[in-house]
Chain A
Amino acid sequence: MAASYGRIVKDGLWENNGVLCMLLGMCPTMAMTGTATNGLGMGLATAVVMAASNLMVATFRNCVTHEVRIPVYILIVAANVTFVDLVMNAWMHELYKVLGLFIPLIVSNCLPLARLEAFAAKEPVLPSLMDGLFMGLGFTLSLTAIGAVREVIGQGTLFADAALLLGPSFHFLESRIMAPDMGILVLILPPGGFLVAGLMVVAKRMVDLASGKEIKMAGAHSV
């Protein structure tokens, strides 16, 4: 029953997108999408944790009994988050200063746990790694998109401080779309997160409808 890689990529990035379709991981989605750069950074950190966790769970999937699987999954996600946290603090310190506060939030994100239960617990190692990676990249895509909308309308910039996250060669990404005083402040504040995320979900469904697809309320278990 191994899913094809094309299917995994499509599911992760669009069809079964963690944020826009399954509505999972709302806590970091609201907290970290004030700017596109923050969304991108949070998404990438989550993708790393998801890929590593999926890989580990798939590796051990035959030696974990059904009854204790959830504590073992949580242990694996929490351990991976701690690894990422310590390693980034030690050797990627500039990035850590931007993202450090939010890395522990990955533990409270139910998207990694959902993918462990729905995919990695049943599938071989390589497809599980791919699923974790592309679900994570789909998450990154959604967070960056929501962050971009909030940032442009809220403070008139796009990818502000991208060079802090990605390195000095990415200064070209930082752009100013509108004058600083034109921004609508509410988009940066918490209500803006809910507004934009909701509109994104609607937009995705409209695109699906327009391309003749049937709208289904996809759940975490629709592998």
Chain B
Amino acid sequence: MSTIRPTWVHATILGTFCAGFGVALALTDDVTKAPIKDRALEDKMTSLGQVIPLSIHDNNPATNVITLNNGEGKPTMVYRAVKDGVVTGVAYEIDAPGGYGGPIKLMLGVDPQGKLLGVSVIAHKETPGLGDKISPAKSDWLSRFTGLSIGNPPVEKWKVKKDGGQFDQFSGATITPRAVVGGIRHGLEFFAENKPAMMENK
């Protein structure tokens, strides 16, 4: 330990370890790449299955994807359910801004008439015990949006009750439901603006 070795000895040792682990990591990456891709696709299908009923399509919506720009210039992936060659519903992710812990990631399923087929939460950082009642495991709050559209209720009623709208907030937590209701309203407006592009089956 105490003998002074020339620098190249240390450099060689460190270099050898880096090269060795580099090769090992590359091999692991190579072996796991395909299974990881499969898992990601399965996850996508599971989350799409929550907002698009199985009965309305005969394709795999996870692989029928078009990319549209939302109002802020951010590309949005739109997954399409097709039955007998006709688009019967679309699903897309939206970021509902203004959550207590940052944006809330939602997935919306919408039918050709603009009615919600379902809403699911992809990711959120809301306070446990207060804002996290939006997740279906904690309460059924989110399921009440199914079947609603802009117009039912009218657009000015797409707010929480505290703001004069028709949706319940949670006791002790208004910010989270406000963000979700606003986000869903924006999501439906996005659908209305892009309906022709979404419904065209190429």
A: residues with CB less than 8 A from B are 34, 60, 63-68, 71-72, 75-76, 79, 82-83, 86-87, 89-91, 93, 97, 154-155, 183, 185, 188-189
Residue of B nearest to A87 (CB): B32
Q: Which residue of A lies closest to B31 (CB)?
A: A90
* Cβ–Cβ < 8 Å partners of A86 in chain B: 28-29, 32, 36
Contact flag A65-B129 (CB < 8 Å), given A72-B17, A79-B21, A82-B25 = no
Is B10 in contact with A68, judged by CB distance below 8 angstroms? yes
Q: Across the interface, do B9 and A79 meet the contact criterion of CB distance under 8 Å?
A: no
Given contacts A75-B17, A188-B129, contact A65 B28 (CB under 8 A): no
For A155, give the chain B residue with the smallest CB separation: B129
B35 within 8 A of A: yes
Query: Which of B14, B24, B129 touches A72 (beta carbons < 8 Å)?
Result: B14
Is the beta-carbon distance between A89 and B17 smaller than 8 angstroms? no
Interface residues of B (CB under 8 A from A): 1, 5, 9-10, 13-14, 17-18, 21, 24-25, 28-29, 31-32, 35-36, 39, 42-43, 127-130
Judged by DSSP, the binding face of B is helix
Given A34-B128, A90-B32, A185-B129: A64 in contact with B13 (beta carbons within 8 A): yes
B35 touches A90 (CB 8 A): yes
**Shortest Cβ gap from B137 to chain A (Å):** 9
Neighbouring B residues of A60 by C-beta, 8 Å:
17
A118 smallest CB distance to B (angstroms) = 16
- Contact for A67 among B10, B32, B127, CB less than 8 A: B10
Q: Tell me whether chain A's interface is mostly helix, strand or loop, or mixed.
A: helix
Tell me the nearest residue of chain B to A66, going by C-beta.
Answer: B1
Contact A79 B29 (CB under 8 A): no
Chain B nearest Cβ from A103, distance in angstroms: 14
Q: B18's contact among A65, A75, A83, A155, by CB below 8 Å, is which?
A: A75
Residue of B nearest to A63 (CB): B13
Min CB gap B23→A, angstroms: 11
Q: Give which listed residue, A76, A83, A154, contacts B28 with CB less than 8 A.
A: A83
CA distance A93 to B35 in the complex (A): 10
In whole angstroms, what is the CA distance A177 to B197 when docked?
53
Q: Given the known A-B contacts A79-B25, A82-B28, are A91 and B129 also in contact in the complex, defined by CB atoms under 8 Å?
A: no
A123–B28 Cα gap in the complex (Å)? 29
Task: Give the chain A neighbours of B127 by CB distance below 8 A.
Answer: 185, 189
A-B contact pairs, 16 of them (CB 8 A): A67-B10, A68-B14, A75-B18, A75-B21, A82-B28, A83-B24, A86-B28, A86-B29, A86-B32, A90-B39, A93-B39, A93-B42, A155-B128, A185-B130, A188-B128, A188-B129
- Complex-state Cα separation, A183 to B172, whole angstroms: 15
What is the minimal beta-carbon distance from B102 to any residue of chain A, in angstroms? 15
Among A64, A66, A76, the residue within 8 A (CB) of B21 is A76
Nearest first, the 8 closest Cβ-Cβ pairs linking A and B are A90-B35, A90-B32, A79-B21, A86-B32, A93-B39, A68-B10, A68-B14, A66-B1
Determine which residue in A66, A67, A183, A189 has the highest number of CB atoms from chain B within 10 A of its CB, and name it: A67
**How far, in whole Å, are A60 and B39 apart by their CA atoms in the complex?**
36
Whose C-beta in chain A lies nearest to the C-beta of B29?
A: A86
Inside 8 A of A82's CB, which chain B residues have their CB? Answer: 25, 28
Interface centre among A65, A87, A89, A189 (most CB of B within 10 A): A65
